[in-house]
Structure 1
Amino acid sequence: MKDFKFIFKRFIASSSVVNRILLINIGLFISFSVFKLIMYLFNLKGFSEQIISYLYVPGNAKLLIYRPWTLLTYQFMHVDFFHILFNMLMFYYMAIIYNNFLKSQGLWKIYLWGGISGAIVFLLSFNFFPVFRNTANLGYLVGASASVMAVVAATATLVPDFEVFLFGLFRIKLKWLAFALILIDISGIPTSNPGGGLAHLGGTLFGFVYMLNYKGYFNLYFKNFNKYFAQKTKVDEKKIFRKKVYVNQPHQPNSNAKNNKNTKPNQLEIDAILDKISQSGYDSLTKSEKDTLFRASE
């Protein structure tokens, strides 16, 4: 038992933000699934549902005054297996891409504040629009979808032209994948899942604004925004890509490079090489071009 505790503590201490978020979501899902099973066997299903409902965001804004913690707890709760499966798969793949470029910097903030933004949009909508007047007291918000959509939007804004294999069948750029998910949410609001769709849009909006601000677009308008949400003010996407290349492709300079190590290549030459990487990949570079990139990074 002591060995298990030691291994668990080491995993928590050494694991990435991505793993920690996954662990919290999966751990809570398993725990509450067991709890609901026990309550069901003792014919206390209604009691268990009432307790768990105190972890969901209520549709009635007045109830939120007495349950403010739900703005955070609902982000880690899921209704069933497929609910958590889809959310965690989407989060994992998007977070891995994000992590490749920014090493989890700001990922917790995007996840949590994206979820809070989704909850705020959900509450405002359910308590303002007439269509929800008769259902606000019955509605509730649960799941990590708004948080996940914030991560999707932030990643797609960071590297919009990054390509992924969708279902392992065809390539699609992140910006188009994010756009398709937004369309799905919008189309589902008047038909199947109005509360969830609105919350997703709230999370998406936060992720989009967060990353635009991270890149420096909103510095003139939100002077203190970076103080709370971002740690940098300007992102050069070519520098991000170059950083990725060097981390994964260590360079061994030859004798000519050593002789010219103090000579910096000009920006036009660097941009031409980076364009070649984006079109054909790092392996398409000649040895001379790799040497040039290495000298530019010193």
Structure 2
Amino acid sequence: MSGLFNDFTDAFAKRNNGLVQIILINVIVFLLLIFAEVILTLSGKTGIFLLIFDQLRLPSSLHELLLKPWTLITHFFTHRDIFHILFNMLFFYWFGKLIDEYLGNRRLINLYILGGLAGALAFLIIYNTIPYFQNQLGSMVHGASGAVYAVVVGAATLLPEYTFFLFLLGPVRIKYIAAFYVILSFIETIGSNAGGNIAHLGGALLGFIYIKQLQKGRDLGAPIDAIVNFFQNLFKKKERPPIKVTYRSQNQKSYSNASPAGFPDEDEVDEILDKISKSGYESLTKEEKQKLFRASQKQ
């Protein structure tokens, strides 16, 4: 057990490990809920479990939401069914790897959180404005699907021609995979899981908008970065900055003319393009792919 605990703590201590950390949070919450359900059910106290579960789910009633505002966040880390969490985490892993590789760990986390919030917003608006759903105001929603759909559609918007090899189907471009699940969710908005499918669509729309805005140089995740940095700084010890010693030989290449705002300069981009022409796009490292994406943002 100590080895398993160390694996968990190592995963959270590791920098730029958001993909695994988000999956672990979902799995830990799921296991705790399952454990609580089994123990309380065997004890004849199922009602207590349902009360705990409802503290994590997002209610459609705005009055109830005011009493439980934390559910805007907790609902997209909460699962009760094994297949629900299994498929959500598999999709998040497959498509999240692409976002992490091309845009970086920080933007993957931002996209997941924004997608979950967008799914919640869509659920609340629809259930409180459209007559068909207003008779169902006791409904609640839970699960990471809205956040996952944001990542899926975000990856398909960023890399529409990227191909997955699917069992029995062979190579399929991810834009078609994303489109299939978005259409399916739209059809199911009048089904038994209407609230969940509305959250899917809200997350999907956010994923599309997020990538399109990012390609124009606007990062919608900046407020989340600011909040995370604020809390990190609260617990960070103030340290003296280390003395920086630099050395440059006469033959060393100078990058003093590098572009501002984190954009790579022309020499770096040329080197990356040369590497693509010689060895193909897949030969690029994660950092080179991210540099190429940033270069594409310069207008």
For residue 187 of structure 1, what is the aligned residue in structure 2?
A: 187
CA offsets, 1:121-166, max 9 Å, x none?
10111111111122112x0010000000000011111111111112
Alignment of 1:131-142 (within 5 A): 131-137=132-138, 139-142=139-142
Q: Verify the 8 A CA contact 1:36 1:45 in the aligned structure 2.
A: yes
Q: Does 1:10 align with 2:10?
A: yes
SS in structure 2 at match of 1:177? helix
Over aligned residue pairs, what C-alpha RMSD do you find? Answer: 3.0
TM-score (normalizing by structure 1): 0.73
Tell me how far apart the structure 1 counterparts of residues 225 and 13 of structure 2 sit (CA, whole Å): 23
SS of equivalent residue, structure 2 residue 105:
coil
Q: Cα deviations across residues 102-134 of structure 1 (Å, max 9, x unaligned)? A: 232311111111101100110111111111122
CA distance in 2, matches of 1:110, 1:96: 13
Residues 94 and 152 in structure 1, CA contact (< 8 A), matched pair in contact too = yes
Look up the equivalent residue of 2:128 and give its one-letter code: N
Q: Which residue of 2 aligns with 1:177?
A: 177
Paired letter, 2:70? W
* Separation in 1, partners of 2:278, 2:186: 36
- 1:92: which partner in 2? 93
TM-superposed deviation, 1:229:
6.3
- Range with bigger deviation, 169-178 or 21-30: 169-178
Aligned counterpart, 1:260: none
Q: Distance in 2 between matches of 1:36 and 1:79?
A: 9
Task: Give 1:107-118 correspondences, 5 Å limit.
Answer: 107-118=108-119
Q: Percent identity?
A: 33
Secondary structure in structure 1 of the residue aligned to 2:106 = coil
Q: What residue in structure 2 maps to residue 46 of structure 1?
A: 47
- Opposite residue 228 of structure 1, the aligned amino acid is P
Letter in 2 for 1:140: M
SS at match of 1:171: strand
Query: 1:174 is matched by which residue type in structure 2?
Result: I
Q: 1:61 to 1:171 in 2, by over 3 A?
A: same
Q: Which residue of 2 aligns with 1:155?
A: 155
Contact 2:57–2:140, Cα closer than 8 Å, also in 1:
yes
Closer, same or farther: CA 145–225 of 1 in aligned 2, 3 Å = closer
Report SS of the residue matched to 1:148. helix
1:276 & 1:136 partners in 2: Cα distance?
57
Structure 2 equivalent of residue 129 of structure 1: 130
Quickly say closer, same or farther: Cα 1:3–1:227, change in 2 above 3 A.
closer
Q: Distance in 2 between matches of 1:23 and 1:230?
A: 21
What pairs up with 1:149-298 in 2 under 5 angstroms?
149-167=149-167, 169-216=169-216, 225=220, 227-228=222-223, 277=280
Cα contact 2:11–2:21 (8 A) shared by 1: no
SS of 1:189's equivalent in the other structure is helix
Evaluate the alpha carbon distance shift between residue 101 and residue 36 of structure 1 in structure 2; reply closer, same or farther with a 3 A threshold. Answer: same
Aligned residues: 242
Q: Identify unmatched segments of 5+ residues in structure 1.
A: 232-263, 283-298
Paired amino acid for 1:199: A
The CA deviation at 1:52 is 1.2
The whole-number CA distance in structure 1 between the counterparts of 2:196 and 2:277 is 41
Unmatched segments (≥5 aa) in structure 2? 227-266, 284-299
**1:65 counterpart SS class:** helix
The change in CA–CA distance for 1:2 and 1:44 in structure 2 (over 3 A counts) is closer
Residues 210, 229 of structure 1: 8 Å contact kept: no
